Amino acid sequence: MSLRKPAKEQPEKFEFTADSLAAAKEIVSKYPEGKQQSAVMALLYIAQKQNDNWIPLAAMKYIGKFLDMPYIKVYEVATFYTMYNLSPVGKHFIQVCTTTPCMIRGAYKLVEACKEKISENESELSADKSCSWMEVECLGACVNAPMMQINDDYYEDLDKEKTLKILDEILDGKTPKPGSYRGRVNNEPENSRKTLLDLKNAQR
């Protein structure tokens, strides 16, 4: 995985939009008086969603003031957790799981697809600056390996051909359908369910 560090080029200002501000205030209101700083992770997530999937230094300073929290503490949180992106990743951020279950089922074929369609290197924006990719640790969908995450959605049971098709759709400005690309429902066995078929929600 690439070294994480803030982008060299940074915007001078950041502030929440009306929707982001409302969401931030609602989250902060759930904490007891004097404990509002505990909302820092949630507010960083809101800032990242607002800013095309990455958090500039100006956003960290803004959140520090919003929570009456030293900027350095916000910076420490943002740089510690890999779910926060410290440089532009594009509107579509693609994370390819290469941990053991995905690896032995062909995860590096997905990586090849990303290199061919997006960029040769991790965390490098595509030619149109709409997306980037990186290898990540386990995303918790091992039974549907190999898989990748695009923004908030999981794309599972992939191979190189299916991944190339998904990436083509993204580069064409479309939104690919998330979920299993073998037609499985959630985490059911590959050959469909064999048990609990009498349950109301067990049928397709």
Judgement on whether residues 51 and 126 belong to the same structural domain of the protein: no
CA dihedral 181, 182, 183, 188 (to 10 degrees): -110
Instruction: Give the span between the Cα atoms of 93 and 78, in whole angstroms.
Output: 17
Answer yes or no: do 45 and 114 share one domain: no
Tell me if 185 is assigned to some domain.
Answer: no
Tell me: do 115 and 153 sit in the same domain: yes
Please give the DSSP secondary-structure letter assigned to residue 166.
Answer: H
Q: Give the CATH number, domain containing residue 121.
A: 3.40.30.10
Instruction: State the Cα–Cα distance between residues 131 and 124, nearest whole angstrom.
Output: 8
Q: What is the pLDDT of residue 200?
A: 64
pLDDT at 164: 98
For residue 150, give both structure tokens. 């695009």
Which pLDDT score is estimated for 202?
Answer: 54
The Cα 150–Cα 139 span in angstroms is: 12
Per-residue pLDDT averaged across 185-197, rounded?
70
Q: What are the residues facing 150 on neighbouring strands?
A: 94, 153
Mean pLDDT of 4-12: 86
102-122 confidence digits (pLDDT tens): 999 999 999 999 999 999 998
Say if strands 179-180 and 92-97 run parallel, antiparallel, or are unpaired. unpaired
When the pLDDT of each residue in the chain is averaged and rounded to a whole number, the result is 91
Q: Domain range spanning residue 103?
A: 92-180
User: Which residue's entry shows tokens 């404990």?
Assistant: 35
Distance in angstroms (rounded) separating the CA atoms of residues 81 and 196: 39
Q: How many domains does the chain have?
A: 2
pLDDT range class, residue 185, cuts 50, 70, 90? confident
> Does the reported pTM lie above 0.85?
no
What integer pLDDT is reported at residue 55 of this predicted model? 96
CA-based nearest residue to 188, from 196, 177, 176: 196
Walk across the sheet containing 92-97 and list its strands.
131-136, 92-97, 148-150, 153-156, 179-180
Place of tokens 């003031």: 65
Q: Are residues 97 and 172 in the same domain?
A: yes
**Domain CATH number, residue 68:** 1.10.10
| Residue 168: pLDDT band with limits 50, 70, 90 | very high
**Percentage of the chain exceeding pLDDT 90:** 78
Residue-wise pLDDT tens digits, 17-62? 999 999 999 999 999 999 999 999 999 999 999 999 999 999 999 9
Which pLDDT band, with edges at 50, 70 and 90, does 199 fall under?
Answer: low
- Phi and psi torsions of 180, nearest 5°: -75, 140
Find all residues with CB under 8 Å of 27, minimum gap 6, and list them: 39, 42, 43, 46
Q: How confident is the model at residue 3 (pLDDT cuts 50, 70, 90)?
A: low
- Which secondary-structure segment (H or E) carries 40? helix 40-50
Encode pLDDT of 78-96 as tens digits.
999 888 999 999 999 999 9
